[in-house]
Structure 1
């Protein structure tokens, strides 16, 4: 939507995406490792994730938060972990039970379960750990631009949505469109925020 030649939500998202990606890229490898460790410890404060039996994680792409330690914590308490895989000709992702060591390079650039890994029923997922480029302090996210997570989360309303990010990825508010999926919680190396999805 535009008004009087103003920028669209899409234009605003693209500009913000570039700005926040540059911020995140300025973090050193040591800072990202330390931040990812702190996030893994803090994420246990989120009850919906702490009590989840089946958690959908993601394999980090580029400078994203590394979820490896989160996965080890979940497996260590007897939970199960699934990873997303792109589906040919479909905007939605499917999730497959898979050991981190079995992940392979996928067509979208991220590591994902191999083609022979069986997909699970989305309704069985208790919690989704959601990646993103930018997150707002009121519980919204800006993804990479493909809309895969937004479309997938819409198909799994029961699953709790927990965003993970470094503090440099947080903004006061985000340009939003009707299809953008809201979060239930957001965890950074410095804080854990909870939201009420129903009220938005």
Structure 2
């Protein structure tokens, strides 16, 4: 079995080679599946993210959240920690040149968190970028529903998780929900 770094490198390599048209079509299809789910419909406060490096394009979901008058939160990295910030139209360039809203840090409960990642398994383990930012962040939101939106190739056989790793509750691709 491959270790986390081997899996991370392999999946990142596949994702980097994706065609932009495929990303857009797939992301729009996955958005429809997700927003029609009871998980989305029952959530009032949703944390999403701005996609980078050919991630599933969450911009469409973010637009739906706003259109549906739900509270949209986006991550900001401050002192190597992820914080949820209220969406506003004013973005700043954060750590790693990732866009983040200039709004206030949100301190209430979050119903649903869309968690980015590189690889996942059917046991709901996840591999991120390797810094542990989201695992530390999710420790504070264990009662929030954690969802990841993935391409089918991001689902691997097994990930050796460590005790600090936080599992995802639901994984969506265009064929099924785990």
Fold agreement, TM-score > 0.5: yes
Measure, in 2, the Cα distance between the counterparts of 1:170 and 1:45: 22
Confirm whether residue 24 of structure 1 aligns to residue 15 of structure 2. yes
Match of 2:130 among 120, 130, 145: 145
TM normalised by structure 1 equals 0.83
Q: Which has the larger radius of gyration?
A: 1
Q: CA RMSD in A?
A: 1.7
Give the aligned partner of residue 107 of structure 1.
95
Please give the residue correspondences for 1:44-59 in structure 2 after superposition, counting only pairs within 5 Å: 44-59=35-50
Measure, in 2, the Cα distance between the counterparts of 1:102 and 1:40: 24
Structure 1 unmatched ranges of 5 or more: 1-6, 194-200
Match of 2:70 among 79, 84, 94: 79
Give the aligned partner of residue 145 of structure 2.
160
Measure, in 2, the Cα distance between the counterparts of 1:170 and 1:79: 29
Partner secondary structure for residue 149 of structure 1: helix
Give the aligned partner of residue 98 of structure 1.
87
Give the aligned partner of residue 133 of structure 1.
118
Pick closer, same or farther for the CA change 1:45–1:178 going to 2, 3 Å. Answer: farther
TM normalised by structure 2 equals 0.93
Give aligned pairs, total.
178
Give the aligned partner of residue 68 of structure 1.
59
